Amino acid sequence: MIALDLSWLTQGAALWYLNRATGLVVLVLFTLVVVGGILATSRRTPPWWPRFGTVSLHRTLSLLALALLVVHIVTAVFDKFVDLTWMDTVVPFASSYRPFWLGLGTLAFDLFLAVLVTSLLRFRIGPTAWRSVHLLAYAAWPIAVVHGLGTGTDASTLPVLALTFGCVGLVAVAAAWRVTTVPIPLAARVALFAVVALLPLWLSGWVRLGPLDPSWAQQAQHAIWNASILSTGAPHG
Amino acid sequence: MADRPVHQAFATDARDRPPADSPRLLAGIRPDRPLGLAEHVAVHGALPAVRSRRSSLSANSRRSQHPVVAELAASGLTGRGGAGFPFARKLAAVAEASPRPAVVVNVAESEPAAMKDAVLATRSPHLILDGAEVVARVLGAREVIVWTHRGAEQVSSALQRAIGERPDAGLRWQIVAGPDRYVAGEASAVVRHLSGGPAKPTTSPPRVDQRGVDGKPTLLSNAETYAQVALIVRHGAAWFRQVGTADEPGTILVTLAGSVRSAGVVEVPFGTRLGDLLTAHGGTSEPVDAVLVGGYAGRWLPWSTAADLRLSREAFRAAGAELGVGLMAFLPARRCGLAETARLTRWLAGESAGQCGPCLNGLPSMANALDHLVRAGDVRTPPLIRRWAGQVRGRGACHHPDGVAGLVTSALEVFSGAVDAHVMDDSCAGCREPAVFAVPQHGVLTEASWR
Amino acid sequence: MTTQTRGSTLSVDWLRCDGHGVCAELAPEIITLDDWGYPIVHHEVNAATERVARKAVELCPALALRLSPPR
């Protein structure tokens, strides 16, 4: 019997890098999914805009995002640097590693699952139920962004920041545009517009005080250091 | 109420039955007040006992074979609310559906110019209530809902008083006043409101007789239909068929409006020639070229040809019109038919429930085009109006857009002379004449107006 | 509005339709848009158009289309 030694996989940094990479790709994909969803149901797009293509792309991208999200989650569980259980993939805020920031990711995943399942069953549950759950996507996305900034050890690097804020900008513009057409009373619309406009501002402020603070990554790094020391007995970079 | 056993209900002695040419629904009514219960019995006779479904131990299939149902089927009675559906068939369908159906009497009369249901309710309310009581007993229903609309206080109070006069028949009567909107009286809209929603039409399936008020099978019919039921139960199907035509027996209430000597509600047998009908009631008060039939969302017909039309659903359909709720609104020749139609169309557009795109958009589009035709004589508007009428027909949850489409297309046909005159020359004396047909002024309407 | 055929009937639920226009783009052979962006179902749904009709039902953002089996 040949024993396949895969310890290099779980103890090396491979899974960790894969997790971080898929995290970023999933952020971009979900950004496109949200913007695509807004465009798909807008009646103000010009006549040459491909409508069914947008709807079709929205669904395809969300499935692709799901696939990569699963990889992102699985790599996190298997990786030895952070101690995550399978429970932590669906139950938020119960993990040992950064419970709050990671928990946000779990929460976003839960919301996304709700959107996905109801979409698959939409003909059974009817348009009202389907649409109300689908609106949770507007909550899931920012929660995922904050999760990324809060847990990401390289959130302080310029490329990642630029990417994140690029995505935030895109969704903010699309959502603001959508708010101008949503059929609710003017007061509610103005309030919603304010939320959409202020969220990126708040995010940038928080990022400067939080994740960009030099001690933020160190705290995370510390946890990783401890984890790696415990598992291999030697420090890992 | 009953002093004759049921098996004698339809076998009244021919001598006791009202003569064929006398008023039926409007028999014995007083000009100033409703008939009290005693007066009502004196005019029509007592209401025969009808075997209640609850007392029957038989299975489902027997309920629709109730002798009353059979008699109503033999009578050929069709609904008087506009659709003309065979009443016995509707009754049988609800009877088969479940143990506790709902019974709704529609006396709301959303058609502003029609008055027939109001006349029945304020002059002979017991006839309506008798019919509802009979139907409720056949179906085993414990409650009857009388649907009227806000602002029709006279109707509500007359019915309320009449209900108070009646002896206890094991029935609970409930008068509900819904929104005073044009499409709020549509069957699915009534049911929707009674079930807690807005009084806006919905799409079927399921149909009202299967799933109606609170999900129960519901028998919803027009007040006049119930009144006819009350007469048939007393005098029998054969008597009912003595007037009218073989396919459309009995009498119908017609509202004469506009330039007629005696505007109001008249009762005539089906098959009556319209010209004779008008002559019998004084004729026109001034020269008339066109008549609007069916309702505001009905059709214009040139009076020269309409005078020879027979009062029958089939004949009207052949002439490209609908009998509807029996409104005949006569337009004086001095008044511009296009301007009148533009006014009506604007009002009807505002009465859209706003649920369906083609209606919500198409009706105001047509109204705008008509206004433009009337005011500016724009030659591009008639084909546009026809195009849009074709685009809204049949594309909605109810038949409101169909009605408006019929109104505007018939106007372009019947008033083609006026169309040419407007296109060639802006000034039209007929446009300066005052408006003839009144439309309700609601003020600012919000979503709350549908609740 | 419904259009009947050898089998399926493609009908629009007017209470749900919001005029997104995805259906007309996807199935121009059977659906065109009226002057306000709402679908007019023109032709029968036959073997050739069945697939695209199903896709239209699937993709409608308002779930307003229904393909009913033969009566």
> What is the per-residue pLDDT across B290-327, written as a single tens digit (0 to 9) for each?
999 999 999 999 999 999 999 999 999 999 999 999 99
Task: Give the pair of three-digit tokens for residue B400.
Answer: 């409101």
- The CATH number that applies at residue B292 is 3.10.20.600
Nearest CA in chain B to C19: B357
What is the C-alpha separation between A177 and A189, in angstroms, rounded? Answer: 11
Q: What is the CA radius of gyration of chain B?
A: 22
Q: How far is CA B106 from the centre of its chain?
A: 9
Chain C environment of B356 (Cβ under 8 Å): 14-15, 17
Averaging pLDDT over each range in A4-13, A60-69, A228-237, C36-45, which range is the top one? A60-69
Per-residue pLDDT tens digits for B128-152:
999 999 999 999 899 999 999 998 9
Average pLDDT over residues B177-198: 95
Task: Give the pair of three-digit tokens for residue B62.
Answer: 């027997």
Where is B177: in which H helix or E strand? strand B172-178
Mean pLDDT for chain B overall? 91
Asked whether residue A204 carries a pLDDT value surpassing 50, the answer given is yes
What is the C-alpha separation between A150 and A27, in angstroms, rounded? Answer: 14
The C-alpha angle B196, B197, B200, rounded to 5 degrees, equals 140
Q: Is C34 within 8 Å of B362 when comparing Cβ atoms? A: yes
Buried/exposed A71-96: b ≥16 CB within 10 Å, e otherwise:
bbbbbbbebbbbebeeebbeebeebe
The C-alpha angle A39, A40, A43, rounded to 5 degrees, equals 75
Do the beta carbons of residue B115 and residue B222 sit within 8 Å?
Answer: no
Per-residue pLDDT tens digits for B407-426:
999 999 999 999 999 999 86
Q: Count of B–C CB contacts within 8 Å? A: 43
> Which positions in chain C have a beta carbon within 8 angstroms of at least one beta carbon in chain A?
16, 18-23, 25-26, 37, 55, 59, 61-64
Q: Which is it for strands C39-41 and C31-33: parallel, antiparallel or unpaired?
A: antiparallel
Average pLDDT over residues B336-343: 96
Q: Tell me, yes or no, if the pTM score tops 0.90.
A: no
Provide the pLDDT for residue B5: 39
Asked whether residue C3 carries a pLDDT value surpassing 80, the answer given is no
Asked whether residue A2 carries a pLDDT value surpassing 70, the answer given is no
> Which positions in chain A have a beta carbon within 8 angstroms of at least one beta carbon in chain C?
40-41, 43, 50-52, 55-56, 122-123, 126-127, 130
C5 vs chain B: nearest CA distance in angstroms?
18
Per-residue pLDDT tens digits for B5-15:
333 445 445 55
Provide the pLDDT for residue B234: 95
Dihedral sign (CA A230, A231, A234, A235): negative
pLDDT band at C68 (very low <50, low <70, confident <90, very high): confident
Dihedral sign (CA B281, B286, B290, B294): negative
- The CATH number that applies at residue B178 is 3.40.50.11540
Do the beta carbons of residue A105 and residue A144 sit within 8 Å?
Answer: yes
Residue B421 counted as domain residue:
yes
Indicate which of C14, C17, C20 best probes the interface with A, i.e. most A CBs within 10 Å of its own CB.
Answer: C20
Provide the pLDDT for residue A235: 47
Residue B116 counted as domain residue:
yes
Chains A and B are touching, with contact defined as 3 or more CB–CB pairs separated by less than 8 Å? no
Nearest CA in chain C to A51: C22
A24 vs chain C: nearest CA distance in angstroms?
29
Q: Which is it for strands B299-302 and B143-149: parallel, antiparallel or unpaired?
A: unpaired
Provide the pLDDT for residue A43: 80
Asked whether residue A223 carries a pLDDT value surpassing 80, the answer given is no
Q: Is C12 within 8 Å of B357 when comparing Cβ atoms? A: no
Do the beta carbons of residue B217 and residue B209 sit within 8 Å?
Answer: yes
- Poorest-pLDDT segment among A222-231, B159-168, B185-194, B246-255: A222-231
Together in a domain, B227 and B87 = yes
Alpha carbon distances (Å) from B139 to B98, B316, B357, C70: 9, 34, 39, 33
Task: Give the pair of three-digit tokens for residue C61.
Answer: 């953002």
Residue B1 counted as domain residue:
no
Asked whether residue A80 carries a pLDDT value surpassing 70, the answer given is yes
Do the beta carbons of residue A97 and residue A68 sit within 8 Å?
Answer: no
Mean pLDDT for chain A overall? 84
Where is B431: in which H helix or E strand? helix B429-432
Average pLDDT over residues B62-87: 89
What is the C-alpha separation between B237 and B46, in angstroms, rounded? Answer: 17
Together in a domain, B208 and B106 = yes
Dihedral sign (CA B87, B89, B95, B101): negative
Long-range CB contacts for residues A221-226, cutoff 8 Å, separation at least 24:
A221/A153, A223/A82, A223/A97, A223/A98, A224/A81, A224/A82, A224/A153
Average pLDDT over residues B242-271: 95
Do the beta carbons of residue C9 and residue C41 sit within 8 Å?
Answer: no
Give me the residue from C14, C34, C40 closest to B355, CB to CB.
C14
Domain final residue pick, B183, B213, B240:
B240
Asked whether residue B63 carries a pLDDT value surpassing 80, the answer given is no
- Poorest-pLDDT segment among A88-97, B115-124, B147-156: A88-97
What is the C-alpha separation between B296 and B176, in angstroms, rounded? Answer: 25
Task: Give the pair of three-digit tokens for residue B148.
Answer: 């009227």
Assess whether the previous peptide bond of B205 is cis (omega < 30° from 0).
Answer: yes
pLDDT band at B3 (very low <50, low <70, confident <90, very high): very low
Nearest CA in chain C to A122: C63
A199 three-state secondary structure? helix
Provide the pLDDT for residue B99: 64
Average pLDDT over residues A120-126: 94
What is the C-alpha separation between A19 and B261, in angstroms, rounded? Answer: 89
Together in a domain, B74 and B209 = yes
Buried/exposed A6-44: b ≥16 CB within 10 Å, e otherwise:
eeeeebeeebbebbbebbbbbbbbbbbbbbbbbbbbbee
Provide the pLDDT for residue B50: 86
Average pLDDT over residues A213-237: 54
Say whether residue B355 is in contact with chain C using an 8 A CB cutoff.
yes
Check residues A226 and B415 and name the one with the higher pLDDT.
B415
Check residues B275 and A11 and name the one with the higher pLDDT.
B275
Nearest by Cα to B359 from B398, B414, B322: B398
Together in a domain, B92 and B168 = yes
Task: Give the pair of three-digit tokens for residue C10.
Answer: 């493609």
Asked whether residue B56 carries a pLDDT value surpassing 90, the answer given is no
Alpha carbon distances (Å) from B91 to A2, B46, B78, B419, C41: 81, 23, 11, 47, 35
What is the C-alpha separation between A183 and B62, in angstroms, rounded? Answer: 52
Check residues B254 and A93 and name the one with the higher pLDDT.
B254
Q: Is B358 within 8 Å of C36 when comparing Cβ atoms? A: yes
Asked whether residue C43 carries a pLDDT value surpassing 80, the answer given is no
Provide the pLDDT for residue A200: 86
Average pLDDT over residues B207-217: 87
Indicate which of A38, A39, A44, A52 best probes the interface with C, i.e. most C CBs within 10 Å of its own CB.
Answer: A52
Asked whether residue B205 carries a pLDDT value surpassing 60, the answer given is yes
Provide the pLDDT for residue C5: 44
Do the beta carbons of residue B398 and residue B285 sit within 8 Å?
Answer: no
What is the C-alpha separation between B195 and B174, in angstroms, rounded? Answer: 14
Provide the pLDDT for residue A83: 79
Q: Is A127 within 8 Å of C16 when comparing Cβ atoms? A: yes
Check residues A226 and C45 and name the one with the higher pLDDT.
C45
Provide the pLDDT for residue B61: 53
- B residues 396-425 closer than 8 Å to C (CB): 396-397
Together in a domain, B230 and B292 = no
Do the beta carbons of residue B293 and residue B301 sit within 8 Å?
Answer: yes
Q: Is A51 within 8 Å of C25 when comparing Cβ atoms? A: yes
Domain final residue pick, B187, B206, B240:
B240
**DSSP per-residue letters across B13-51:** -TTTSPPTTS-STTTT--SSSPPPHHHHHHHH-PPPP--
Provide the pLDDT for residue B1: 38
Q: Is C35 within 8 Å of B202 when comparing Cβ atoms? A: no
Task: Give the pair of three-digit tokens for residue B179.
Answer: 């929104």
Check residues B51 and B270 and name the one with the higher pLDDT.
B270
Asked whether residue B228 carries a pLDDT value surpassing 90, the answer given is yes
What is the C-alpha separation between A71 and B187, in angstroms, rounded? Answer: 55
Residue range C2-68 forms a domain whose CATH class is alpha beta
Chain A environment of C64 (Cβ under 8 Å): 127
- Poorest-pLDDT segment among A130-134, A144-148, B281-285, C67-71: C67-71
Asked whether residue A138 carries a pLDDT value surpassing 70, the answer given is yes
What is the C-alpha separation between B186 and B450, in angstroms, rounded? Answer: 13
Provide the pLDDT for residue A187: 87
Provide the pLDDT for residue C47: 85
Check residues A150 and B147 and name the one with the higher pLDDT.
B147
What is the C-alpha separation between B322 and B301, in angstroms, rounded? Answer: 11
What is the C-alpha separation between B213 and A179, in angstroms, rounded? Answer: 37
Asked whether residue B107 carries a pLDDT value surpassing 90, the answer given is yes
Total domains in the fold of chain B: 3
Domain final residue pick, B240, B260, B277:
B240
Together in a domain, B22 and B77 = yes
Within 8 A by CB and 6+ apart from B164, the residues are none
The C-alpha angle B322, B327, B330, rounded to 5 degrees, equals 105
What are the residue ranges spanned by the domains of chain C? Answer: 2-68
Together in a domain, B140 and B227 = yes
C49 three-state secondary structure? helix
Where is C58: in which H helix or E strand? helix C47-59
Together in a domain, B255 and B373 = no
Indicate which of C26, C30, C32 best probes the interface with A, i.e. most A CBs within 10 Å of its own CB.
Answer: C26
Provide the pLDDT for residue A11: 59
Where is B403: in which H helix or E strand? helix B400-414
Provide the pLDDT for residue C17: 95
Provide the pLDDT for residue A1: 54
The residue segments making up the domain with residue B395 are: 337-440
Chain B environment of C15 (Cβ under 8 Å): 202-203, 355-356, 397
Residue B446 counted as domain residue:
no
Per-residue pLDDT tens digits for A10-58:
556 788 889 889 999 999 999 999 999 999 888 888 888 898 899 999 9
